[in-house]
Structure 1
Amino acid sequence: ATGTAEPVGRAWNELPEIPKRCQWANFLRNHDELSLDQLTEDERERVYRAFAPDEDMRAYGRGIRRRLAPMLGGDQRRVELMYSLLFSTPDTPILNAGEELGLGDDLRLKERESSRTPMQWSGDEPNAGFSTADPSRLVRPVVTDGPFAFGRVNVAAQERDPRSLLHFVRHAVRTYKANPAFGRGAWTFLSADDPAVLVHRCELDGHSVYAVHNLSCEAKAVQADLPDGLADVFHDTATAYEPIRGGRVHLRPYGYRWLRPRE
């Protein structure tokens, strides 16, 4: 909501200690409302303005009843950035069904039901391929209108598109599994000379990996506490970034980079 890294780092640092053999389960959205009851009134209003400006996007006076993609205006760059944060920080990432596609919501449904619409498998089958039943018999209707309608957002179409969110999530999962320090390592926040850039290191069994995230809509070239000799293992877009030299790191708008020492 602020476009700065400080609230993210503060939230992580305020997590209570848990046993070493345990992990937090981290998710961006689930099938309930996104509760904001732990925020101050000013923080809550700022989040509402950014992600749920209309009253019908909110629930129970304390949370947001939208899916992630609509909250971020359907901007795939921002959605990818959020998933990059989810997968590059220790603990267990959780995906709610349909979030790997960027499904929308149906605000005509009451309360939490708005984000519990059926999976959109196909763009040209009845009920988005979810069910062969008469539409009137579905527990909740398929999204049929707007930018998140099943004719536009569905598994079949994203399977065919190598630039789709579905392919991005698969790539993120593979990279996460290939670099276990991201999921199980001890993490440390590193300094950067721009408040919009979040930098952290994860260490496991003597191996370090790094992640850099640009939370703003502007390209950045920042000075960060990063060593030379790092190689990108995952980043936004297909175009390679300049190597990091002397701690100087380049990022596109809403860009992200996962790095590890060159072998």
Structure 2
Amino acid sequence: MQWSNGVNGGFTHSDKPIRPSIDRGPYAFGEVNVATQRASSDSLLNWTERALRLRREVPEIGRGIWTVLDTPESILALRFNWESETSVIVHNFAGEATDCTLPYFSDDGDARELVCLQTNERLITGPRDAKAFVLQPYGYRWFRLGGLDEFVHSHAERH
């Protein structure tokens, strides 16, 4: 990606760069560059940074045991368990909105909040509950039992 909308996309001030910059079309450095992407809260660059930050905040994805959940054919749902943490990552690979139902996840029998880590939407789950929601076309939702607040609080007590 070009750095800026300046000369040669911010890569060089040379009149004869080794490789030419993209200066025309929808991907021209005047249209797509890091400086512009940083300034736009809904840019791909900012989305990627938020996704990477969220991934680092959910250690059970890399450290835990995972299982594939039973879902409609276009949905991939993975449950991750590590220590006392449970997260569920759900992705819709269809080009249309799809209904998805998540089972009850708490191992201790208590009702707990299933929290969407992107929106902070809270779904109360109980031993007899399954939670239904709609995933938008090519959409995704990352859920965690108790959300990130509960995780931070429980790990602060341990350390």
TM-score (structure 2 length as normaliser) = 0.76
In structure 1, the partner of 2:132 is: 248
2:101 to 199, 203, 223: 223
Segments of structure 2 that go 5 or more residues without pairing to the other structure are: 106-111, 151-159
**Structure 1, residues 205-255: CA drift from partner, whole Å, max 9, x if none?**
2311110001111111123445473101126xxxx7684762313211111
Segments of structure 1 that go 5 or more residues without pairing to the other structure are: 1-118
Contact 1:202/1:210 (8 A) holds in 2 = yes
Give the whole-Å Cα distance in 2 for the aligned partners of 1:130 and 1:166: 18
In structure 2, the partner of 1:209 is: 87
Contact 1:159/1:166 (8 A) holds in 2 = yes
In structure 2, the partner of 1:176 is: 55
Contact 2:102/2:132 (8 A) holds in 1 = yes
Contact 1:120/1:130 (8 A) holds in 2 = yes
In structure 1, the partner of 2:39 is: 160
SS at match of 1:250: strand
Give the RMSD, CA atoms, in angstroms. Answer: 2.1
In structure 2, the partner of 1:120 is: 2
In structure 1, the partner of 2:117 is: 233
Give the whole-Å Cα distance in 2 for the aligned partners of 1:188 and 1:173: 22
- In the alignment of these two chains, the number of paired residues is 137
Q: Please show how residues 16-31 of structure 1 align to structure 2 within 5 Å.
A: none
User: What percentage of residue pairs aligned between the two structures are identical?
Assistant: 36
Higher normalized strand content (fraction of residues):
2
TM-score (structure 1 length as normaliser) = 0.48
